[in-house]
Amino acid sequence: MPSESRSSARAVDAEDPGPRSRTPVAALLSVEALLLAATATYCFIGVSGGILDARFGIGLGMFLLLFALGLGVAARSILAKGRFGLGFGITWQLFQGLIGASLLRGGLYWQGALALLLATVLFVLLTRLVRSTPLPGGEA
């Protein structure tokens, strides 16, 4: 009897929260990707306008575009029930939390608060999806 209840509890735990949960997570990851791409564009404009040093601005812009691309792929992976989106998304939220705290410390209050809010909300939503995403080579 205990093994039967254990297997039924396991099946309930492994149920997918449904498309209602995956779609907002993918949308928020896409919003983060768009914000990073917009910031990268600002860096490139800053270089052309002489506001930023060319080497620094181009390097930062390329770095931000790389992570924006990663977030876009992660959003697609979340919709396809892939594992990449979870790992990359959770790791990115930890880094974004550090960036948000640094922005607050630097006096950029609304930017830091937005970064921390997005990081916290997405971290919680992504960790809720972990149990419902199939492992590679596992039963589908």
14-42 pLDDT, tens digit each: 555 555 788 999 999 999 999 999 999 99
- pLDDT tier, 114 (very low <50, low <70, confident <90, very high otherwise): very high
State CA 132 to chain mean position distance: 17
Domain annotation covers residue 33: yes
Dist CA 55 CA 61 (whole Å): 10
Residue 23: CB atoms within 10 A of its CB come to 13
Q: What's the confidence (pLDDT) of residue 119?
A: 95
pTM above 0.85, yes or no: no
**What is the number of residues in the chain?**
140
User: Per the structure, how many domains does the chain have?
Assistant: 1
Residue 112: CB atoms within 10 A of its CB come to 18
Token duo for residue 128: 């809720």
Domain annotation covers residue 139: no
The radius of gyration of the chain from alpha carbons, rounded to an integer in Å, stands at: 19
For 123, the domain range is 22-128
Dist CA 95 CA 56 (whole Å): 20
Domain annotation covers residue 12: no
Domain annotation covers residue 42: yes
pLDDT 10s digits, 50-103: 988 999 999 999 999 999 999 999 999 999 988 899 999 999 999 999 999 998
State CA 94 to chain mean position distance: 9
